[in-house]
Amino acid sequence: MKPGTLLISQPFLGDPNFERSVVLLCRHSPQEGAFGLVLTRPTPLLLGDVLALPPTAGRPVARLPLFTGGPVQPDTLHFVHQRAELPGASALGQGVFWGGDFDQFLAGLDAEAGPVVRLFVGYSGWSAGQLEEEIGRGSWIRQPASAGKVFTLESDAFWRTILREKGGRYRALANYPLDPRLN
């Protein structure tokens, strides 16, 4: 699987960390495993709540929302953005990049234009072969080369919207109830 793939959880996954979630795959290696960021879990936290920002960063940067990227290392900060020139950034496709020099990133943010960035605490990780096994069991639906959706879909509707866009049987899954016993 290539970076930039979206992993869409099946509605019956059963893991509260990934229930009705969409994960952006940032890195995948059959030998080393996979790294991704959950796109559908906003937190009530803002960047200024968890990070002492330099005075030059400005107040709008402090109000950037944080998302839960996954259950692994919730004390780490990760980000995706659209700045190809940022040193150390990894291309995910469709003009989306992961990571890079965070200090340079903050220094280059234009508070007036509203930065195109998503910030995450923690991440989602899979050991070698684990993600392939989960996909084989039907836990995840793959949507290749879809990184561009990161900045275009609202987090609360992301899961349903991406399934509807896939069409066919996936469109029906988008309407699957949280608890089918209540229907």
Residue 150 belongs to some domain of the structure: yes
pLDDT at 108: 77
Q: What is the reported pLDDT for 68?
A: 97
Task: Answer yes or no: is 1 within a domain.
Answer: no
**pLDDT at site 56:** 56
Segments in the chain below pLDDT 70 = 54-59, 110-115, 177-183
Cα angle: 29, vertex 98, 57; to 5 degrees: 155
The domain of 96 spans 6-182
Q: What is the domain-level CATH number for residue 115?
A: 3.40.1740.10
Q: What pLDDT score does 171 carry?
A: 86
Contacts of 181 (CB under 8 A, 6+ apart): none
pLDDT score, position 88: 96
The rounded distance, in Å, linking the Cα atoms of 46 and 121 is: 11
Residue 79 pLDDT: 96
Residue in the block written with tokens 């959950």: 38
pLDDT in tens, 41-66: 999 999 989 988 766 555 678 888 99
Q: How far apart are CA 183 and CA 167, in angstroms?
A: 23
Q: Is residue 34 part of a domain?
A: yes
Residue 85 domain flag: yes
Of 46, 158, 36, the C-alpha closest to 98 is 36
Per-residue model confidence (pLDDT) at position 178: 60
Domain assignment present for 167: yes
53 is a domain residue? yes
pLDDT attached to residue 182 = 53
Question: pLDDT digit string (tens) for 104-123?
Answer: 888 777 544 555 899 999 99
Q: Tell whether 164 is covered by a domain.
A: yes
Pick from 118, 120, 173, 109: which is nearest to 148 by CA?
118
Q: How many domains does the chain have?
A: 1
